[in-house]
Structure formats: structure tokens, C-alpha cells
């Protein structure tokens, strides 16, 4: 489904042309009704993109309306380029997560790089200066050559773009699972800061105002790219993908740096009425959405668009997804000054159209009308579809290969978990990223459960991004609730209170009943968890049709959450700090091996569900108590780390390795040593501190002392029997060597 070259009769495209562009027969007939007759080439191209799944959210919009979007900190919610929350001192934090999955599966370097470029434009499109990037990645097992090729390219692309533009990559996550082998996931999140009064919206306004395109010139790269690739299954040819490579955009971070500085200076000078970045569907999407939000019309003359390649057809200009471009609306009296600033920053600037009161998007070519469409039909009248969810009666995903014997001793099991791809140190990957440029980074990716960035008044932002597709596959509702709770737990461990949430919903084909069930249950869990946390959704993205020839990916809701802590100097850390301090287990932790990392190593199939109902309110209360214990001025906890993949034993090992200190731990009797040591579930924390810090915490939360910091080994006794005694050096070798084998 590539737009370029897809048309038969260019003046009067046929139904077959419409079907080739991704419209259904019924949708094409509706377009004809809206247009008062068959659309021409330009019109059909524009409808096919704006009515695609990627642009119209036609299978998910009804579900998204159930999400909580309002709260005391929300300044800008869904519907704009990014959401924003109030962080005090007149500042707002803008943030959003988006996907570039299918392009990255075809060309991983450029797919991931332009994913970063796109999310950064979303941030400065509302007037905020980007201050950080995070990434959430999913690939097949690293033992597979194609998976290594994809992750090498994607990580290099993320590092190249972020490092070149001067925005730190401060955190993220990566998982390796078989269902992502043909369809990898590359989700990028960005944050920015702005004065509240400097925010701008994208709604076009003021008939007679001038529409200016500025930034890079327009070429044929990316025609039909994100909007088409993201609206269909990749199929088996994704393994080569050569035929789809022309649809993948090519990015230039140095051009984007100039574009960013130009945009921010235009906003500081008050020269713009509205601003919109050009992403999927290019000028088609940006101009039409600006007109829709402002309830106006827009005329665009493609002959005025600066081109990289001569001889481009009008429809090609309108749907090109060339990167590093912005569209703005300007008062006629300010056009000269806007053009002068474009010259200053060495970016192309051209007046290409005007705002009208027609309620239509009109496309002209040197003054000749070549396309004329009602704005409402293009943007607002795309048909929305009801899902038909049916819980699958048979397993959807194959049983993993066994790599660890069920009878393995706890010590062998711990070392195996520490070295498995989903738990091993990510240093071989994230060391390619600059995490400290801009000098705001207080906690790096390996120092705390969440990244921490200092604000001008000495307070700080914390940010985390999380999701566990395997657990969501086992139980879409509860798994999604757990993903939200994991994100807020990470914020609690650094002492931050959640302010708002963003999400990227990565799922398979929603037209299939089992995928529809996964999606509906996941959104229900997302809504319930965010309401309980009072961390509303301020924006996000949906990526559907993530399937290959072997079936769908794991359902993967990726959650990004931003919080604030009052004093950056008291930001928590995960590593043990001082020998002799006490270690305690706190929180309503009820571990289970269902869908755990250990279950995967043992070759266990996914269960049908993750157990009983969660006491989410109790977990949120525990997070609040830990947050207070970390951030208060007196009797402060020295460290805090939530129990996640690999369970309690892995969390203890991570605390030891991060702090360079051993620990001696004694656990109470348990009917199942494996569950006690390696079971997973939300709600549990490992904290350390002086006795008075633990006593202060115990005033709000049940505290179970389990050991003492110190020594050069991790020693764990269970029911009075030593089950683990491993030197820190051996723990470090296991954890650091897990991915080093594949990415030396």
C-alpha cells in the first residue's frame, strides 16, 4: 500500500485505486457522498491518509473517550501535539509518547531516529523546549540475528538523533520476546519545559491570516510512510522490507535543531497565531487538523512549497512525510519578520496559503484548483468502528523454550535471572546515549528507578516509562493496571508525586475479536488505574496492526508518567548507601510465578489470568508512604527500589550492585521458596535506612525488617537455611554479561 504510483487514471481514480490505498468499499462510497461525486487524485490521496487507522484512530477513538483526562495539574490535555502539566513556579512540563514501530521494522536506524525527531517536534510545537527523551523498545530474542540487526539499528538511530540535537536520553526500557521478532516496537517519549503563558495551540484562526511552511524542503521520502505502514499488518515480507523502504522517512537532527530554535524564537516574540508540526500525512494532516480545530478553512498552493525534488505531483506534495517541517499561521503584518527569523536560523520559509472562512481545504497548483474538500469530512467524519471483543478460547502465543531446569537451586536461578535478556544490565545499549547534556540530570538510568531532572527553583521532575507485554498477554486488564502501578512505583522510589500520564497502546489487528478483547480490557485497566492514582491521561498514541506472519505481538500498553519532587537534592536512589543500615520489605506484596521471568526460563506457557483482584488503593497508599519516606527532610530513607521482574531476590541483587555494598537477608518461612524469592507482582518495595527512618515509615505502613547492608556478598537465608551466598563480583558478572554476549 504505497501511494506513489498507485493511481490508474490520475484525474478520476477508481474504486480499485481507493482499495489499494487502504480505504474500504464502504469508506470510498462515503467519500463520494461527502464530495458530491468521485474524488480526484489529490482528494483521494488525502482522504486515504486522514481516514487511515494511524490518523483517524477509527478502531480506538471510542475506547479512548473513557480515559480520565482532567486533574488539578493538567494545563493541556489530549487533542494537542502534546499534553502539559503544571510543575510550579510558572512552568509547565509538556510530554508525550509516540510509536514508530512499522518504519523501524523496515529500516531500524531511520525509523527510530525519525521517531525521536517526531516526538521532539510535538514538544516544541506547543512552545516547550525539549529537555529529555526516553525510549521503550521491544524485539525478538537477541539470539536471533534479525533481532540483533533491528536493535542495533534502532538504538543507533535513537542515540544519533538525540545526541546530535542536544537532548539527553535519560531512561527507558527494552524487552526481548518471540512475538516481537517480526514486528518490533519503538516507542519514544519526550519532555519539555515552558512558561505557562508561552504555550501555543494548533487551531488555525483569523480568515486572511497567512499560512507559512518552514523547515526542511519537501521531497518524496516518506510518501505514505507512517500513515500507511502503521495502518496495516507488515506481513512476511517485513523480514526483507526492501519494497517498503521508500516509505520510511529520513531525518536530519541538525536541521531539526535549527527548526526548534527558530520555532521557539518565533513564539518568544509573539509572532505566531498557531503552530503545528508535520508528521504522518504531512501537509494533509497538519493543514486539515489546524482548520478543523479552528473551525475555519485553509487554502494551500503546492507551487509555493520549497521542493527537494523537481517535478513532484500536487498529491505528492500534500502527502509527503519529509521530516523537520512546521506549519504556522501568521498575521499578514508579521510575515516579513517571520521570514527574517527563518533566514536567521537558515531554514526554508515560504508563505504557501491562507486561512479562509470557507470550512474547506482547498489545494491549488499555481492558482489552479486541484483539490477541494470539506474540512469536517476530511477530519471529523471518518467512520468510527465498534470493536467486537471475544476472549480467546485457545492460547494465542507459543510456549517459550525452556532454558533453566525447574529443579535448579536458588543460587543458580538467581544468576540465570540476572543474566537473562529482560533483566540483564542495559549498559551496552544505553551507554550509546548522552544522558547528561543540558546539565539537568540528577539521576541517570542505572542510579534510580526513575530519571530525575532538576528545575530552576531546585525542585525536580521525575519520569518513568514502563510496560510488560507478557503479563498483559496473560491478563490484559490486570497487566495494564500493573504497568501503571509500576510507573508510579518508580516515581515513588525517587520521592516524586505523579502529575499526569501518557500512553502508547501497541496492539495487533483490532478487527480480530481476540485482539479487540485485549485492547478493550487494557484500556479499561488503564482508565481505572489512572483514576485511582489521580494521574490523568494528557495525551498519547495508538499503534495497531502490529502483526507478522506468525501472529500478533504481545498486547503492549506502554505507560509514561511524570511526577514532581520538592527538592532535587533528596531524590531517591535504588542502591544501598551505608553499611550497617537496616533493610526492610514494605508494601502489600503478594508474589506469584504466573507470567514471571522465572516461568519463562522454565518454559511455562502463559497462564489464563494473573490471579485475584488487586487492592489498588492499598498499593497506592504504600507508594505514598514510600514517597514521603524518600523525600522528607528528616529520617529519610537511604534507598528505595520496587520489586519487579525477577522478584525479591533480583531486587536485592540490584540494590547491592547499584550501591557496591553487599547484604545479609533473612526471610520468614514460605511454602514455596521459588515464589518467595522470585515471584512477581505489584506493591512491594525494598528500602534501607537508619532505624529512625524505618520507624518513621512504620507510622504509615507495615514494615518487615529482613536484613542489614554490608559486606561483599549477597547472602539470603530462607526458613533459617542459607539459599543464596554470592559475591558481588559474581553478581556483577552475571548481570553485565547478559547482553554483552550479543552486543559487545
Phi, psi of 251 (to 5 degrees): -105, 160
Would you say 735 and 419 are in contact if contact means Cβ atoms under 8 Å apart? yes
pLDDT in tens, 235-272: 544 444 444 445 577 889 999 999 999 999 999 999 99
pLDDT at res. 588: 96
C-alpha angle 494-498-504 in degrees, rounded to nearest 5: 105
The three cell numbers locating residue 429: 545499549
- Which residues are known to be catalytic? 54, 100
Distance between CA atoms of residues 380 and 486, nearest Å = 36
Would you say 448 and 575 are in contact if contact means Cβ atoms under 8 Å apart? no
- CA dihedral for 127, 322, 538, 561, sign (positive or negative): negative
Please report, for the chain, the start and end positions of each structural domain, with discontinuous segments joined by +. 573-744
Would you say 188 and 122 are in contact if contact means Cβ atoms under 8 Å apart? no
Distance between CA atoms of residues 155 and 299, nearest Å = 40
Buried/exposed code over 328-354 (b: 16+ C-beta within 10 A; e: otherwise): bbbeeebbeebbebbeebebbbbbbbb
pLDDT at res. 234: 54
Distance between CA atoms of residues 724 and 664, nearest Å = 10
Would you say 308 and 182 are in contact if contact means Cβ atoms under 8 Å apart? no
> How far from each other are the two terminal CA atoms of the chain, in whole angstroms?
38
Q: Which residues contact 83 (CB under 8 A, 6 or more apart)?
A: 74, 76, 77, 94, 95, 96, 500, 502, 537, 538, 539
Distance between CA atoms of residues 471 and 462, nearest Å = 25
The three cell numbers locating residue 630: 524518600
CA distances from 128 to 70, 73, 268, 560, 633 (A): 21, 17, 11, 18, 32
Distance between CA atoms of residues 411 and 661, nearest Å = 18
C-alpha angle 607-610-611 in degrees, rounded to nearest 5: 115
Q: Which of 558, 584, 593 is nearest to 674 (CA)?
A: 593
pLDDT at res. 221: 80
Would you say 298 and 211 are in contact if contact means Cβ atoms under 8 Å apart? yes
Q: Which residues contact 62 (CB under 8 A, 6 or more apart)?
A: 384, 386, 387
The 8-class DSSP code of residue 506 comes to: E
Please list the helix, strand and coil fractions of the chain in percent, rounded to the nearest 5, in that order: 40, 25, 40
The three cell numbers locating residue 260: 526548534
Q: Which of 282, 157, 294, 166 is nearest to 227 (CA)?
A: 282
Question: Which parts of the chain register pLDDT below 50?
Answer: 1-10, 226-231, 236-245
Q: Which of 249, 203, 223, 219 is nearest to 5 (CA)?
A: 223
The three cell numbers locating residue 386: 465498534
DSSP 85-99: EEEETTEEEEEEEEE
With H, G, I as helix, E, B as strand and everything else as coil, classify residue 235.
Answer: coil
CATH topology for 573-744 is Phosphoribosyl-aminoimidazole Synthetase; Chain A, domain 2 (3.90.650)
What pTM, to 2 d.p., does this model score?
A: 0.94
How many angstroms from the chain centroid is the CA of residue 606? 25
DSSP 355-397: EESSSEEEEEETTEEEEEEEHIIIII-SPP--------SS--S
Would you say 126 and 82 are in contact if contact means Cβ atoms under 8 Å apart? yes
Phi, psi of 342 (to 5 degrees): -60, -40
Buried/exposed code over 14-43 (b: 16+ C-beta within 10 A; e: otherwise): eeebbebbbbeeebbebbbebbeeebbbbb
The 8-class DSSP code of residue 587 comes to: S
446: left (phi over 0), alpha (psi -120 to 50) or beta: alpha
Burial (Cβ within 10 Å: 0-12, 13-18, ≥19) of residue 721 = exposed
Laid out side by side, the sheet with 451-454 consists of 441-443, 451-454, 460-466, 556-565, 497-506, 537-543
706: left (phi over 0), alpha (psi -120 to 50) or beta: alpha
Task: Please give, one letter per residue, the 3-state secondary structure of 626-664.
Answer: HHHHHHCCCCCCCEEEECCCCHHHHHHHHHHHHHCCCEE
Amino acid at each position: 500500500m504505497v501511494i506513489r504510483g498507485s493511481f490508474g487514471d490520475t484525474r478520476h481514480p477508481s474504486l480499485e485505486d481507493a482499495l489499494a490505498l487502504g480505504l474500504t468499499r464502504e469508506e470510498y462510497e462515503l467519500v463520494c457522498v461527502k464530495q458530491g461525486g468521485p474524488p480526484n487524485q489529490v482528494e483521494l490521496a488525502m482522504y486515504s491518509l486522514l481516514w487511515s487507522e494511524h490518523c483517524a484512530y477509527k478502531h480506538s477513538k471510542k475506547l479512548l473517550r473513557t480515559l480520565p483526562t482532567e486533574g488539578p495539574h493538567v494545563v493541556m490535555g489530549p487533542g494537542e501535539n502534546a499534553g502539559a502539566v503544571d510543575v510550579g513556579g510558572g512552568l509547565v512540563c509538556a510530554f508525550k509518547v509516540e510509536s514508530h514501530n512499522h518504519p523501524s521494522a523496515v529500516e531500524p536506524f531511520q525509523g527510530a531516529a525519525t521517531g525521536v525527531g517526531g516526538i521532539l517536534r510535538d514538544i516544541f510545537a506547543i512552545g516547550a523546549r525539549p529537555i529529555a527523551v526516553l525510549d521503550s523498545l521491544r524485539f525478538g530474542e537477541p539470539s536471533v540475528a534479525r533481532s540483533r540487526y533491528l536493535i542495533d539499528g534502532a538504538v543507533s538511530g535513537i542515540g544519533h538523533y538525540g545526541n546530535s540535537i542536544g537532548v539527553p536520553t535519560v531512561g527507558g526500557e527494552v524487552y526481548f520476546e518471540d512475538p516481537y521478532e517480526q514486528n518490533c516496537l519503538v516507542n519514544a517519549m519526550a519532555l519539555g519545559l515552558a512558561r505557562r503563558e508561552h504555550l501555543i495551540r494548533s487551531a488555525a484562526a483569523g480568515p486572511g491570516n497567512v499560512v507559512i511552511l518552514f523547515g526542511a524542503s519537501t521531497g518524496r521520502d516518506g510518501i505514505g510512510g507512517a500513515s500507511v505502514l502503521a495502518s496495516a499488518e507488515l506481513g512476511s515480507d517485513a523480514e526483507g522490507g526492501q519494497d517498503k523502504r521508500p516509505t520510511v522517512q529520513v531525518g536530519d537532527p541538525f536541521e531539526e535543531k535549527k527548526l526548534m530554535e527558530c520555532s521557539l524564537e518565533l513564539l518568544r516574540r509573539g509572532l505566531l497565531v498557531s503552530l503545528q508540526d508535520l508528521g504522518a500525512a504531512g501537509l494533509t494532516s497538519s493543514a486539515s487538523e489546524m482548520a478543523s480545530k479552528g473551525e475555519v478553512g485553509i487554502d494551500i498552493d503546492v507551487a509555493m512549497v520549497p521542493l527537494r525534488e523537481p517535478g513532484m505531483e500536487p498529491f505528492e506534495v500534500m502527502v509527503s512525510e519529509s521530516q523537520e517541517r512546521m506549519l504556522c499561521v501568521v498575521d499578514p503584518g508579521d510575515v516579513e519578520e517571520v521570514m527574517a527569523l527563518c533566514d536567521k536560523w537558515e531554514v526554508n520559509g515560504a508563505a504557501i496559503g491562507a486561512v479562509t472562512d470557507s470550512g474547506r481545504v482547498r489545494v491549488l497548483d499555481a492558482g489552479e484548483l486541484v483539490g477541494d474538500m470539506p474540512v469536517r469530512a476530511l477530519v471529523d467524519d471518518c467512520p468510527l468502528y465498534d470493536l467486537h471483543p471475544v476472549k480467546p478460547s485457545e492460547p494465542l502465543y507459543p510456549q517459550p523454550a525452556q532454558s533453566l531446569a525447574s529443579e535448579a537451586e536458588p543460587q543458580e536461578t538467581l544468576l540465570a535471572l540476572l543474566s537473562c535478556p529482560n533483566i540483564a544490565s542495559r549498559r551496552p545499549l544505553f551507554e550509546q546515549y548522552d544522558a547528561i547534556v543540558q546539565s539537568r540530570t540528577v539521576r541517570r538510568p542505572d542510579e534510580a528507578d526513575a530519571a530525575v531532572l532538576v528545575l530552576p527553583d531546585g525542585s525536580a521532575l521525575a519520569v518513568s516509562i514502563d510496560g510488560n507485554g507478557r503479563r498483559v498477554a496473560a491478563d490484559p486488564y490486570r497487566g495494564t493496571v500493573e504497568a501503571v502501578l509500576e510507573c508510579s512505583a518508580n516515581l515513588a522510589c525517587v520521592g516524586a508525586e505523579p502529575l499526569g500520564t501518557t500512553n502508547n497502546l501497541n496492539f495487533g489487528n483490532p478487527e480480530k475479536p481476540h485482539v479487540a478483547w485485549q485492547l478493550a480490557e487494557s484500556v479499561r485497566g488503564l482508565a481505572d488505574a489512572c483514576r485511582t492514582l489521580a494521574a490523568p491521561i494528557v495525551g498519547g498514541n495508538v499503534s495497531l496492526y502490529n502483526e507478522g506472519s506468525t501472529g500478533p505481538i504481545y498486547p503492549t500498553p506502554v505507560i509514561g508518567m511524570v511526577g514532581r519532587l520538592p527538592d532535587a537534592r533528596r531524590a531517591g536512589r535504588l542502591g544501598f548507601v551505608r553499611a550497617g543500615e537496616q533493610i526492610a520489605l514494605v508494601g502489600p506484596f503478594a508474589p506469584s510465578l504466573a507470567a514471571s521471568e522465572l516461568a519463562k526460563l522454565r518454559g511455562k506457557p502463559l497462564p489464563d489470568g494473573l490471579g485475584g483482584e488487586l487492592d489498588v488503593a492499598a498499593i497506592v497508599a504504600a507508594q505514598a508512604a514510600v514517597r514521603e519516606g524518600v523525600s522528607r527532610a528528616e529520617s529519610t530513607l537511604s534507598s528505595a527500589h520496587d520489586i519487579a521482574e525477577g522478584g525479591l531476590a533480583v531486587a536485592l541483587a540490584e540494590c547491592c550492585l547499584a550501591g557496591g555494598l553487599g547484604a545479609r537477608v533473612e526471610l520468614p518461612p514460605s511454602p514455596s521458596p521459588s515464589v518467595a524469592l522470585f515471584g512477581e507482582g505489584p506493591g512491594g518495595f525494598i528500602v534501607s535506612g537508619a532505624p529512625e527512618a524505618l520507624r518513621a515509615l512504620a507510622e504509615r505502613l507495615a514494615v518487615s525488617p529482613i536484613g542489614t547492608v554490608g559486606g561483599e556478598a549477597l547472602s539470603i537465608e530462607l526458613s533459617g537455611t542459607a539459599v543464596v551466598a554470592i559475591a558481588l563480583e559474581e553478581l556483577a558478572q552475571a548481570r553485565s554479561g547478559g547482553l554483552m554476549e550479543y552486543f559487545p
